[in-house]
Amino acid sequence: MFNYRLPAKNFIAAFDIDAQKTFTPVCPDELPVAEGDKIVPELNAQAKLACLRIASRDAHSPYAKWIATEEHPCLTPLAGYPDLDLYWTKHAIVGTPGFEFIDGLDPEAYAFQSLKGIEPDKHPYGACYHDLGNKYSTGAIEFLRQHGITTVICGGLATDYCVLNTVLQLKDAGFTVILNEAACRGIAPDTTQAALEKMKAAGVILVKNAAALKKMR
């Protein structure tokens, strides 16, 4: 890892994973992650090292089957649908403020965006597939391959769910994957640490911040 050097810029993409207001204190009634709104400078900094920038967004229906209720609280198991595993607080509903990018991120900067969780009976975590079984592509992997990308620098929300799953999907697809820890925030310390360890074990390169990335050129 310490001897790793970034390839030429035209082989690098920056991936902003679910960097949406729904996962920040801006939307306290959705799924706020502590300091989720603080990752923008690091996301913008890592993008300067890449030739293209892509993003993913949760894009949910107000009629989703996974929306938590008093009878079925958030994070309790959900059965009966192959692409749903847990109940979640309503979040990232298309057309609401929670669906929007965090302030400071320019929607026009992205060469590609994958929208996931549009169907009421699906709640994927990774940005590369529409389903939990990683069968139905969002097109992100194909887009990266089409543009000759070999290395993907990732950041976003939250470390222990959507970031973890997206990073592992990209690694399985054959990319060199770098996680910028300062460009992420997690839901809980224990699950965040477990996610970092899982990514590292899978061969993902972990760096502390964009400054450390620059030293790898």
Q: Could you tell me if residue 77 is inside a domain?
A: no
Q: How many alpha carbons fall within 13 Å on the CB side of residue 184?
A: 29
Predicted confidence (pLDDT) per residue in 114-161, tens digit = 999 999 999 999 999 999 999 999 999 999 999 999 999 999 999 999
Question: Quick check: helix, strand or coil at residue 47?
Answer: helix
Q: Could you tell me if residue 29 is inside a domain?
A: yes
| Whole-number pLDDT of residue 3 | 77
Q: Could you tell me if residue 175 is inside a domain?
A: yes
Q: Could you tell me if residue 184 is inside a domain?
A: yes
Read off the CATH number of the domain in which 201 is found.
3.40.50.850
- Name the average pLDDT for the chain: 97
Q: Could you tell me if residue 193 is inside a domain?
A: yes
Q: Could you tell me if residue 176 is inside a domain?
A: yes
Count: domains in the chain: 1
Question: Quick check: helix, strand or coil at residue 143?
Answer: helix
- Tell which residue, 36, 41, 38, 40, has the closest CA to residue 23: 36
Q: Could you tell me if residue 134 is inside a domain?
A: yes
Domain that holds residue 30: 9-58+98-214
Predicted confidence (pLDDT) per residue in 49-96, tens digit = 999 999 999 999 999 999 999 999 999 999 999 999 999 999 999 999
45 within 8 A of 215, measured Cβ to Cβ: no
